Amino acid sequence: MPVNLILLYVSDFIDPHRVRIHDRRFQHMRSVHQAQVGERFRVGVLNGMTGEGEVVAISERQVELNVRLNQAPPKPLPLQLIMALPRPKMLKRTLETVATLGVKDLWLINSYRVDKSYWSTPILRPEKAREHLLLGLEQAGDTRLPRIHLRKRFKPFVEDELPALARNTRALVAHPYDAQPCPAPTSEPTTLAIGPEGGFIAYEVEKLREAGLEAIHLGPRILRVETAVPVLLSRLFPLEL
């Protein structure tokens, strides 16, 4: 797989314009790209600027790059994304996809159709989740790490937190029944809730509506969560974002 961006951490810098890398990123540059002295790669500092890095030294154990960081990363989506916790296999891909698409705030919440066991997956451990988010950022060429908020109880979240999150935003829940068509793309701040496989149950949709969310549908086809996410974000936001 290509690396569209090599993410750099503050700890990689050995002086203000030079980094030294010796982990997974180095392995990848070496084995996949057969990086050579003089070659250039797109780089970006985690939560910072992007630019170009030129290989100035490479050994069996590490690579050194001179870096010039002069470009802002892509704009974040003005979105608060709320998702019923997907099953582990899908969670991995979901974390990568939301990071790739520019989501910066993701709430993973409980729902009647979320199996309790999903909450004990190692993928939810901060360091594991972060790995998948970083892969998504590298894919997109982005540097800004999304924040994940875990809410293991549906009702307290929807009653006590969600109304304030949703206020003054375009607040939506994707739901195939008794819903309006998905609205046109705009850049306005948006709160979007996406249910589990099989959807939110009627009680949950009712609670989400009470919190200020309007139900929207995506047309006659029922989509898997991992397909629904890119479809919804493409329909809700303009191309520039």
Chain residues that interact with its own copies, rule: CB under 8 A: 1-2, 4, 74-75, 97, 100-102, 139-142, 181-182, 197-198, 218-224, 227, 230-231, 233-235, 239-241
Nearer to its own copies, 157 or 200 (CB): 200
| Closest to its own copies by CB, 156 or 181 | 181
22 or 75, CB closer to its own copies?
75
Nearest to 145 by CA among 184, 98, 182: 98
Q: How far is the CB of 1 from its own copies (least distance, A)?
A: 6
* CB 16, min distance to its own copies, A: 26
User: HSE on the CB side for 198, CA within 13 Å?
Assistant: 11
Rounded Cα distance between 188 and 36, Å, is 45
Q: Minimum Å distance from CB 196 to its own copies?
A: 10
Instruction: Supply the minimum distance, in Å, between the C-beta of residue 163 and its own copies.
Output: 28
For residue 239, the minimal CB distance to its own copies (Å) is 5
| DSSP-based three-state secondary structure for 139 | helix
Nearer to its own copies, 211 or 229 (CB): 229
Q: Smallest gap, in angstroms, from Cβ of residue 11 to its own copies? A: 26
Identify which of residues 102 and 165 has a Cβ nearer to its own copies in the complex.
102
Nearer to its own copies, 157 or 237 (CB): 237
State how far Cα 114 lies from the chain centre: 20
Axis crossing angle, helix 126-140 with helix 88-101, rounded to the nearest 10:
40
- With beta carbons less than 8 A apart as the criterion, state whether 35 and 55 touch: yes
| Cβ atoms of 104 and 77 closer than 8 Å | yes
Report DSSP letters for 40-100, one per residue. EEEEEETTS-EEEEEEEEE-SS-EEEEEEEEEPPPPPPSEEEEEEPPPHHHHHHHHHHHHH
